[in-house]
Amino acid sequence: MPELLQFTFSGLTVGAVYALVALGFTLIYNASDVINFAQGEFVMLGGMTTVFLGLAGVPLPLAACLAIVLTVIVGLALHRFAIEPARGASAVVLIIITIGASIFLRGAAQVVFDKRFHSLPSWFGNDPIRFGGAAILPQSLVVLAGAVMIVLLLWVFIDRTLLGKAIVATAANRLAARLVGINTRRIVGLSFAISAAIGAVAGILIAPITLTSYDVGTLLALKGFAAAMLGGMGSALGAVVGGLLLGLLEAFAAGYLSSQYKDAVAFLVILAVLLAMPRGLFGRASVERV
Amino acid sequence: MSSTRMAAAAGFCLASVFAAGAASAQVKVGAVLSVTGPASFLGDPEKKTLELYVDEINAKGGVNGQKLQLVVYDDGADANAARTFATRLIEEDKVVAMIGGTTTGATLAMMPLFEEAQIPLISLAGAIQIIEPVRKWVFKTPHTDKMACEKIFGDLKQRNLTTVALISGTDAFGKSMRDQCVAVAPKTGITIAHEESYGPRDSDMTPQLTNIKGKAGVQAVINPGFGQGPAIVTRNYRQLGITLPLYQSHGVASKQFIDLAGPAADGVRLPAAALLVADKLPDSDPQKPVVTGYTKTYQQKTGQPVSGFGGHAYDGLMIFVDAAKRAGSFDKAKVRDEIEKTKNFIGTGGVVNMSPTDHFGLDLSAFRMLEIKGGDWTLVQ
């Protein structure tokens, strides 16, 4: 029984990390149908910038805020200089542009920062919380709470504000959105900015657990993307559920089956789910842009 | 008459060209290193070390009256690129010797070319396959993972522990060391009771460690791995409150590991080269002057802390330079013979004694068993 609980704790820890990364995909996808593969680099930038500002003597809370601001600037620049000039292109082309941007950002980070691993201190120390024979680190709960907060904020933003509705309108039909006076260019830019902020927050929250380095984004983006697909691309709730599910699958596969095949098991389940529900668990069936 | 004059003039010109050539003649030493890419934390200090010491050697007048010219190519940890650069070193740069590659993959890809061209190659990569079987022109300086396993098992024996569990990374380093440990375990009387693994980028290893914790009879845990994985294993180990001795590999023998694992690293043991504990070695240690000297030079010139990897490059370069001095020329065959005759060379990695059957020359004494206490290394006696 303590094993089951420990595996669950592990799954929730890893799952919360995936969920946070997956959340970043939703907004850009909603506004522009683009899956932003540079999302992992936003996560990396958040963590690494905080680490390096911290090393330079900036107090960590301030460093974290500056890191978010910087990542938002990078997100806006990505939109302005890479996505916007190619606005007539299809979503696939734009996705490939984001892959290029991701490689560029990783290379730049290698030069600007360094090639080592770094860590941030946990918010509430490293003493595990023991419960029923299992142990969980307080930081895991922070990450989980962060994911829930972001989902709530996104929900309020999308469903309760005019600006959020403008994003939904842009996603549904860009021409119609423009006709009713929405500046769709600005809306897509805004979605990049917010996604960058979400990525940076994720990077800062998870750095004490996953550690961070210039290339931390690659695999996180892959797992986060898988989680987002599982939950239904574009759905914030789906991203969190998908992330947690993926984490739990990995933990149980590692614990009960074999640590060699945990990734394979997780991806097999994802394939099975997507075969049965091609839009993911919480995917919308409607907004298809033609 | 005019024709003889012309011939004389031509002869004079040629002679002066040759003379000028001889005066500025530089001997080219090649290096294909992974300065960027995933193995950059190995290749970067290696490159800096080579540049630093080639400059120093030249400032002191060079070797055999000739200056060394270092030709470095960056393979980005891609074995195909390494092979291309190896060809360029051999055919265009016409190097007299080669130091590198950084990774086992790159070395294995380049070895046949240097064998064929009959140019000595001193590899900076870990795997034992590079020198087993012995190849005439191929040498290497870094410790092998087999030695790390033997060192750990020896320490276990001293503590009367015989049953262990392995949790290894699935990256090349972790896999290779795991295989070596499994292979030497029966010979040293160690039983591996349980095995777990993790992906190189995993962020939580508690399920695997929970299984190890629940396994009866396990007396110690060994973690062959590299990068950030071992730091997370160590943290999770303490998180779960496991009290068995934990052994890490020489792959994480850097201050960075202690920084990343934090207080959880306390009590962890690992085998490592003397370079890491330069200031803690007793003055009687034969390696003390070499490792403190290298540490001082490297830190002064680069402003960065030393790593064992740069030390391997130092050893490789110095073994070559010593051999060339003994050979009295840069004749490739003579230099090769002299490298093979290297005896009692004291490097950062240990005391090197090469022979026709051993192109590596380190024994177990090259590894020190370290224990992390209060965020610093201590020597286990």
Q: Write the pLDDT tens digit of every residue in B243-300.
A: 999 999 988 887 888 888 888 999 999 998 888 888 888 888 889 999 999 999 999 9
SS3 B98: strand
**Average pLDDT score over residue span A231-241:** 88
Instruction: Determine if the peptide bond prior to B101 is cis (ω within 30°).
Output: yes
Q: Within an 8 Å CB–CB cutoff, is residue A222 touching chain B?
A: no
The span from the CA of B38 to the CA of B126, in Å, is 16
CB contact under 8 A, A255 and B259: no
**CA separation for the pair A132, A3 (Å, rounded):** 10
Which among B38, B241, B260 has CB closest to A211? B260
**A131 chain-B contacts, CB cut-off 8 A:** none
- Report the distance separating Cα A158 and Cα A217, nearest Å: 27
Supply the pLDDT for residue B322: 95
Q: How far is B236 from chain A (nearest CA, A)?
A: 9
* ipTM for the whole complex: 0.85
Query: How many angstroms separate the CA of residue A268 from the nearest CA in chain B?
Result: 17
Give the distance from residue A240's alpha carbon to the nearest chain B alpha carbon, in angstroms: 18
Looking from the CA of A72 toward its CB, the CA atoms found within 13 Å total 13
d(Cα B271, Cα B16) in Å, to the nearest integer?
57
| Burial zone of B62 (CB within 10 Å; 0-12 exposed, 13-18 middle, 19+ buried) | middle
- Is A168 a residue whose pLDDT tops 50? yes
Q: Show the tokens assigned to B202.
A: 């995993």
pLDDT at B23 (0 to 100): 42
**Distance between CA atoms of residues B312 and B124, nearest Å:** 6
Alpha-carbon Rg for chain B, nearest whole angstrom, is: 23
- Cβ burial A258-276 (10 Å sphere, 16+ → b, else e): ebeebbebbbebbeebbee
Q: Which residue of A has its CA nearest to B237?
A: A135
Q: Which residues of A touch B202 (CB under 8 A)?
A: 14
Quote the percentage of chain A above a pLDDT of 90: 46
Taken in order of first residue, the domains within chain B and their CATH numbers are 26-143+290-363 (3.40.50.2300), 145-279+367-379 (3.40.50.2300)
CB crowding B6-16: b at 16 or more within 10 Å, else e: eeeeeeeeeee
* In contact, B34 and B75? CB cutoff 8 Å: yes
Q: In chain A, what residues touch B225 (CB-CB under 8 Å)?
A: none
Residues, chain B, total? 381
Cis ω on the peptide bond leading into residue B133 (within 30° of 0)? Answer: yes
Comparing alpha-carbon positions, the chain B residue that sits nearest to A259 is B197
Are B211 and A255 within 8 A, CB to CB? yes
Residue whose entry in the numeric block shows the structure tokens 């009713």: A180
Residue B173 has a CB neighbour count (10 Å cut-off) of: 24
**pLDDT value for A57:** 92
Domains in chain A and their CATH numbers? 16-127+136-276 (1.10.3470)
Phi, psi of B259 (to 5 degrees): -60, -45
Mean pLDDT of A116-129: 87
The answer to whether the Cβ–Cβ distance between A126 and B259 falls below 8 Å is no
pLDDT of B18: 47
Task: Tell me which residue in B203, B208, B241 faces A17 most closely, judged by beta carbons.
Answer: B203
Residues in chain A: 290
Q: Residue B192: what pLDDT? A: 94
pLDDT at residue number B335: 95
Which has the higher per-residue pLDDT, B296 or A279?
A: B296
- Residue B79 near residue B38, CB atoms below 8 Å: no
pLDDT at site A233: 85
Quote the strand ranges of A126-172, DSSP E: 129-131, 134-136
Query: pLDDT tens digits, residue range A13-26?
Result: 899 989 989 988 98
Q: Do residue A14 and residue B41 have CB atoms under 8 angstroms apart?
A: no
Nearest CA of chain A to the CA of B41: how many Å? 6
Q: What is the pLDDT of residue A158?
A: 85
Higher pLDDT, A109 or A132: A109
Helix ranges (H only) for chain B are 2-23, 40-59, 79-88, 104-117, 145-158, 172-188, 206-213, 229-239, 255-261, 288-302, 308-327, 332-340
What integer pLDDT is reported at residue A90 of this predicted model? Answer: 86
Residue in this structure with the two tokens 């802390």, named with its chain if needed = B305
The minimal CB distance from B204 to the residues A3, A14, A216 is found for: A14
Give the per-residue pLDDT at A284: 66
Cβ A10–B264 below 8 Å, yes or no? no
Chain A neighbours among B 251-290 (CB < 8 Å)?
Answer: 256, 259-260, 262-264
pLDDT of residue B6: 56
Below-70 pLDDT ranges, chain B: 1-24
Which residues are paired to B30 by β-bridges? B71, B98
pTM of the model: 0.82
What is the model's pLDDT at position A269? 86
Q: Output the pLDDT for position A259.
A: 83
